[in-house]
Amino acid sequence: MLENDFFKEIQSYIFEMFKNNLKPQVVYHNYIHTLEVVFAANEIALAEGISEDNREIVLLSAWFHDIGFINGFENHEENSMNIAEIFLIKRSYDSKKIEAVKTCINATKIPQNPLNIIQKIMCDADLFHLGKESFIEKSNLLRLEWEQILGKKLSDIDWLLENEKFVGAHKYFTNYAFTNWSEQKSINWLKLQKELRKAIAKNDEIEQK
């Protein structure tokens, strides 16, 4: 990971922004998630062999991609892009690179539709957890966040259905992510299907009583 003074300043800035402005109920899209995405983005970027300039853009995008959540869920990608742009302009960062950072952040919108390698890396890094053993833990945090912030109360069946559909339809875009994370993602998908069957059977049993 790039650890020059510029990136140290960015890390400190993002940390303080989350610490001072993010609602405590946002238990998933926070500094921890951002840091994990930065490490995932760097891992993919190095494996894909992109240029140092492009790796810099990817890492900047990763640091800023969810900072917009300090202003709420709605339009958080646009808020993240605006915060990144203001920060980088103040530091006389190259305007073309700023636009590249913004398009990388925008590419993380669901459904993802990345158009080039740096956007593909950013998208895969943002959803790296789908192919990790920690998937269920991360998924539970996201569910809690939805319930606390959006008031989106879902039954166990509805939540599992939504997750099973999302993971089943998802694909990794980079060779590295596809090669290294697809197997665990399939295992996670099968676990979701198993839990969904159990939840449906439990619900049917309750209804029959």
Domains and CATH numbers, the chain: 5-208 (1.10.3210.10)
pLDDT at 1: 63
Question: Tokens at residue 105, please?
Answer: 């952040």
Any idea what the Cα angle at residue 111 is, between residues 66 and 60, rounded to 5°?
Answer: 30
Q: Identify whether the C-beta of residue 45 lies closer than 8 Å to the C-beta of residue 121.
A: yes
Q: Is residue 135 very low, low, confident or very high in pLDDT (cuts 50, 70, 90)? A: very high
Whole-angstrom CA distances from 123 to 13, 81, 150 are: 23, 15, 24
For the whole model, what pTM was predicted? 0.95
Res 209 pLDDT > 70 = no
Name which residue leads in pLDDT, 73 or 180.
180
Name which residue leads in pLDDT, 24 or 205.
24
pLDDT at 151: 85
pLDDT (tens digit per residue) in 80-99: 999 999 999 999 999 999 99
Output the average pLDDT for the chain: 95
Question: Tokens at residue 182, please?
Answer: 């697809």
CB atoms within 10 A of CB 6: 13
> Residue 36 — φ and ψ, nearest 5°?
-65, -40
Q: Identify whether the C-beta of residue 69 lies closer than 8 Å to the C-beta of residue 29.
A: yes
